[in-house]
Structures are given as structure tokens and as C-alpha cells.
Amino acid sequence: MNVDEDFADFVRARWSSLYRLAYLLAASPTGAEDLLQTTLEKAYVSWHRIGQMEYPEAYVRRMLANTLVSSRRRAWHRERPTGTLPEVAGDSAELPVLDRSLLWPLVCALPDRQRAVIVLRYYEDLSEAQIAEALGCAQGTVKSQASSAIAALRRAVAAAGVGEAVDGS
Amino acid sequence: MNLGDQLRETLGEEADMQYATPPDVDRLIIGGRQRRRHRNLVRAGGTALALVLIGAGAYAVLQTNPAAEIPIVDTPKAPPVLPEDPGASTLEPGTYRVLVGAGADGAAIEADLTFEGRAWHAGNFPRLNEGRNGGFGVYRAYALAAGSGCLGDESTVDAATTPEALAQQLAELPGSTVVQPVTSTGVLGRDALHLRVRIPQECPLNEYYRVAETPRGSRGISFHAASPQPTVVMDFWVMEEAGVPVVLDAWYEVGASKVLLDGVAQATEATRFVAP
């Protein structure tokens, strides 16, 4: 089987799964299509290598997140990584059960990089080290992004009148 | 339930609700190939540029005030790469980026092309269909038609390396008649050499007249199943870009409507080279 056939088979088999991740990362259907197309074109360029991997899909899924944030790379580099923040402040505190229709728009409203960290952590179940590797940044940066995202979500939930009684520490 | 658990549940449910339309795998592969060609060109240019930058960088380090802040400027998002679907699929109106070729320093020359209306068809060189066909293209030619001019002939001649010599070669395309001789003019804000030719396409069935070979493949102008194909009128502007001759062409089949001619002219004039 040549490279083109192998790539085509992979795309057809994994398209739906990749699209779902792209949708969560891009937070819109059209953004997801653009992101997925760009990522797969990049993957095609290196398919002779990616196709030989034991889990090519895992690699392409990380490429999706990296492609999303790479357009903002300069801004990303301006952020100062830190290793002293708590392990994602407040994500273990109890909240009233939220409706998906409330929480998803709040995730969509996060900046791209914060949303990427949240999606990779809670949808892809990646560790901080794996997220840092996927996004090409320091682990401390992942921590600070996750912390900021969680704090923003908690504030938004509270502002929506659902989680005022929750201890956000 | 904590926020982490709720995020897991919400993201999972949201993802499961999404339905993806089937992929256009051919388009992805074409886009990937274009990206690879672009990367290879940039790498070739990068090798040459690296030597210059090392020297310039060393000078800058000596001259720059280390306390000065370098402003960070957001660059606008580049238009999508032109899909090279070889079929007859309709091209969505909008602006697309294409590879023109390599400049004298090896770096990629790119241009943005803008298409309006829904009668443009995708391809390495898009075609406007309004009963008759027409189109335009911008490219660095590395070979021109020779022999019969038909693709099956497989004979080409190397493209000249100066605008003057290249314009003269275009005036001698196989089977063509010069309608307007080579004259100096201006196009896209640049000095250029212009000529107009008529090309009666007398290629066998299932072949096409190939004007030039370019980094985006053959520049063909035949789009009918019948033989002979309609005669084509073709304008060429040859200009210098990044130290190499670049061709802008615009063509139409004899008998084309004013709508088609206006559409081709409008798109041709909207061509913009991308600043390096």
C-alpha cells in the first residue's frame, strides 16, 4: 500500500473521531473543518513517518491542538510559565450539576489556548506533561493556563447564578 | 459533582452530538502536496537566507540596545491554499493563495487570487465557465510548449531566464498567431511586457494544449471533449518578481460572452503578490 492510499484509509476511518476533537478545540463547526483540514494537510506531508507510528491517530490528535495554538505562538511565548501554582485550582470543589447547555458556551468563550488545555485534559485525558508536549510549551505554562481557565469557568458559573455557594478556593 | 467531572461529561456529550460530513480525501492530499512543495521551496530559500541572516544578526546584536523592546505584531491570517481539485467542482468565491514559483534566492513567490461568483471551477489553474471557458494564471514557467503543443507530444523547451526572452518564446508557441506583438506596459503595479496570441487547438481527442510547465503542474487551456477544441485568445504579461521572470496570463475561447470576459479581467486584475 502506498503512502497516499494509507493516508486516505486513515482519514476515512478516523475522520469522525478527529472532527469531534477539532470541534471541541475550535468551538465551532466551520472552525473545526478548517482546523482539521489544515492539520491533515500537515500530517500528509510527514505521513511516511506518522503512518509508521504505532498510534498515528494519537499523534494527529496532538497535532490538532498544536495547530490551533501555533497561530498564536507569539502571544503564547510572552506568557511567563510558573511551577508554583496549585494543581488546577478549584476543579475538585463540588458544584451543583450544570446543564451542558450552560457549561459548553462558557468553554467556548475561553481563549483558544486555555480551551485547548481544558479539552486535552478533560476530553483527551492527557497529563500536564503530555499537554505541554502536544502544545510545545512548558509544563508550568499548562498549569497556569489550566488554572486561569478553571478560575474563569467558576466565575462565569457563579455569575450565572448556579455556583455562588461553592467554595472556590 | 466537581467541575472537572462536569467538564468531562459536557465535553463528551458535546462531541458525541457532532456529525461530520464525509471527508474530501483527494482535496486533502492535493493540499498536502502543495504544502510540501511550499515547504521544500522555503527550505531551499532558507539555506541561502541563513547565511545572510547570520551576518545580519551578528551586526544587529552589536548595534541593538538590549533594553529596547521588540514590538510584537499580529500578522493577519493567510488565505487558504487554492484547492487543486482536477475535477469540475465549483470553487467557492473568495481569496486563495497559490505558489507562483521560486525567486532568484530560492524563496517561494506566492500570490493571492480572488474569485467572485459561482462559475469558477477548481483546478491548478481555475477556469471560468459561462457557456465558453476562460481563465487566468500567474506562474513561473520552467518549460514552454514545443512540437505540436499537445500534451501527448511530450516535447517542451526550457523557459528563458529574462522577461524579454521569455516574452519572445511565448510569441512563438506552437501553432499560435501573434495578434498583438510584444510591447512594454504595466500590470499589477509593475513594468511588464505584453503580447496577445491566438491558439487554434488542434490536439487529438483526450489531449490538451499545454502552454507551460509550472510548479503547479501543466498550464493547459483545453476543456472540451471534442476535437478540435475552440480557438483560444490568450494575453501574456511577463514581469520580473523576486529576480525571476513571472507570467500572468488571461485567456478565453473565441465566442465567449462579455460576462465571461469581464469575469476573467476582474479576477486577473485582482491578483496580488504576497510580500516576502
**Has residue A84 got a pLDDT over 90?**
no
Q: Residue ranges per domain, chain B? A: 3-64, 94-273
Asked if the C-beta of B69 comes within 8 angstroms of chain A's C-beta atoms, the answer is: no
Angle at B261 between CA B257 and CA B267, to 5 degrees: 145
Q: Three cell numbers at B247? A: 507570467
Angle at B101 between CA B100 and CA B102, to 5 degrees: 140
Distance from CA of A14 to the nearest CA of B (A): 10
**Has residue A73 got a pLDDT over 80?**
no
Q: What φ, ψ does residue B253 adopt, rounded to 5°? A: -80, 140
Chain B residue closest in CA terms to A43: B32
Q: What is the pLDDT of residue A68?
A: 86
* DSSP helix/strand/coil, B62: helix
Q: Three cell numbers at B226? A: 471534442
Among the ranges given (A72-76, A138-142, B158-162), the one the predictor scored with the smallest mean pLDDT: A72-76
Element (H, E) at B132: strand B132-139
Contacts 24+ apart (CB under 8 A), A63-66: A63/A39, A64/A18, A64/A21, A64/A22, A64/A25, A64/A35, A64/A36, A64/A39, A65/A25, A65/A116, A65/A119, A65/A120, A65/A131, A65/A134, A65/A135, A66/A134, A66/A135, A66/A136
Asked if the C-beta of B8 comes within 8 angstroms of chain A's C-beta atoms, the answer is: yes
pLDDT digits (tens, 9 = 90+) for B135-164: 999 999 989 999 888 877 778 899 999 999
Q: What is the pLDDT of residue B198?
A: 94
Note whether A122 contacts B11, CB cutoff 8 Å. yes
Q: What is the pLDDT of residue B245?
A: 95
> Which of A24, A44, A91 lies at the smallest CB-CB distance from B4?
A91
Q: What is the pLDDT of residue A165?
A: 38
Q: What is the pLDDT of residue A97?
A: 61
How far out from the chain centre does Cα B90 lie? 17
Note whether B6 contacts A95, CB cutoff 8 Å. yes
Interface test with B, best of A41, A73, A87, A98 (most B CBs within 10 A): A41
**What's the pTM?**
0.49
**pLDDT < 50: residue spans in chain B:** 49, 51, 53, 55, 57-74
pLDDT (mean) for A125-145 = 87
Among the ranges given (A27-41, A73-87, A94-108), the one the predictor scored with the smallest mean pLDDT: A73-87
Longest Cα–Cα distance in chain A: 60
Note whether A44 contacts B31, CB cutoff 8 Å. yes
- Looking at 3.40.1000, 3.30.1370, 2.60.120, 3.40.50, the CATH number of the domain B94-273 comes to 3.40.1000
Note whether A12 contacts B31, CB cutoff 8 Å. no
Q: Model ipTM?
A: 0.81
Q: What is the pLDDT of residue B78?
A: 81
CB-based contact A14:A57 (threshold 8 Å): yes
> Which of A40, A74, A123 lies at the smallest CB-CB distance from B11?
A123
pLDDT digits (tens, 9 = 90+) for B118-134: 889 888 899 998 888 99
Asked if the C-beta of B33 comes within 8 angstroms of chain A's C-beta atoms, the answer is: yes
